[in-house]
Amino acid sequence: MIAKINEYIAEVEAFEATSAASLEEFRIRFLGKKGVLTELFDEFKKAPVEQKKEIGQALNRLKTAATERVSTAREQMEAAADANAEKSDLSRPSLTLPIGSRHPISQVRRQVVDIFSRIGFTLSDGPEIEDDWHNFTALNLPEYHPARDMQDTFFIQTCPDILLRTQTSSVQARHMEKNQPPIRIISPGRVFRNEAISYRAHCMFHQIEGLYIDKNVSFADLKQTLQYFTQEMFGKSKIRLRPSYFPFTEPSAEVDVYWGLETEADYRITKGTGWLEIMGCGMVDPNVLRNVGIDPDVYTGYAFGMGIERMAMLLYQIKDLRLYFENDVRFLRQFSEVL
């Protein structure tokens, strides 16, 4: 058995690795669970007692030689690979990586903010986890107000006065509490409502709301601002204002833009009327101004709000609201742009 072990030691010392595959084959042959050393140690158990010391020493020499040979060969191969890497031509063109795309919600949000920033609106943000005062009460929606039922709210179970905001109007309330007029802000953000998810509704969506408070602000100022926006956003300046109701504005109106009836798609999205609803608006209710510490006898203002998803659906002819939230790369690639 000693002679057999010595033959293996000679084979190990003579081994030269030609590739990673040959080195791995060598390692498995000698050091693997079913390799040479495992077989020899099984035979060692049956060896005569007087020979075990000599055989054991020989087996240890074989194991050490095989382990060191594998380690040395591996280090040599890694060093050779590093040397080849240093000789690489760094001037060669790299692989072209695909350019990503902004989400359509992000694109529309950025476009709307950019339009209003040109006429003096600044960006204002607030928390998504809101309290009852800023989300409802300060906005002329006191407890038991019937309009609260229009918004199925996610309340925090352990804190009844804490909720996921249902509208970005809460940002306006916070801003007015901390700042005196003139105020001219735009507030984009994510909002939440407990609604069944379908192609036209979701429990999470995005809004952009605007607010302008100053002396002598009129409904005519609001209309002029909205005409400017629709011209810049859609290339259409013909709008109409239909009387509506919102608790925090009085008077209130729904804004329609004349989309036209030039194509089949125009007929479909406007239901054959040519008019398309895009947002709600109105003059800020005096009660809201009082709630946030602004004198309604001195200041007036207007507010408006729109859904970003709806804007994107109009601009890109998207028919299913759920596509925005599924992270399907095939969907996102349709909106590629230079970042």
pLDDT in tens, 281-292: 999 999 999 999
Alpha helices in the chain (DSSP H): 2-14, 20-31, 36-44, 52-86, 104-117, 132-135, 169-178, 219-234, 264-270, 286-291, 308-316, 329-332
| 153-177 residue pLDDT tens | 888 878 878 999 999 999 999 999 9
Mean pLDDT, rounded, of the chain = 86
Q: What is the pLDDT of residues 296-308, one digit of tens each?
A: 999 999 999 999 9
* Sequence-separated (6 or more) residues with CB below 8 Å from residue 328: none
Q: Which of 93, 102, 172 is nearest to 135 (CA)?
A: 172
DSSP 285: P
DSSP 3-state assignment of 161?
strand
Q: Model confidence over 203-226: pLDDT tens digits?
A: 889 999 999 999 999 999 999 999
Residues 6+ apart with CB under 8 A from 198: 321, 322
CA 52 vs CA 1, 56, 120, 213, 310: distances in Å: 11, 6, 93, 98, 85
pTM (predicted TM-score): 0.68
51: left (phi over 0), alpha (psi -120 to 50) or beta: alpha
Containing 283, the helix (H) or strand (E) segment is strand 275-284
Closest-CA residue to 26 (of 40, 41, 42, 12): 12
Give the whole-angstrom CA distance, residue 284 versus residue 265. 36
Answer yes or no: are the C-beta atoms of 187 and 168 closer than 8 Å. Answer: yes
Q: How many CA atoms lie within 13 A of 338 on its CB side?
A: 0
Residues 246, 280 contacting (CB under 8 angstroms): yes
| Contact assessment for residue 260 and residue 273, using Cβ atoms and an 8 Å cutoff | no
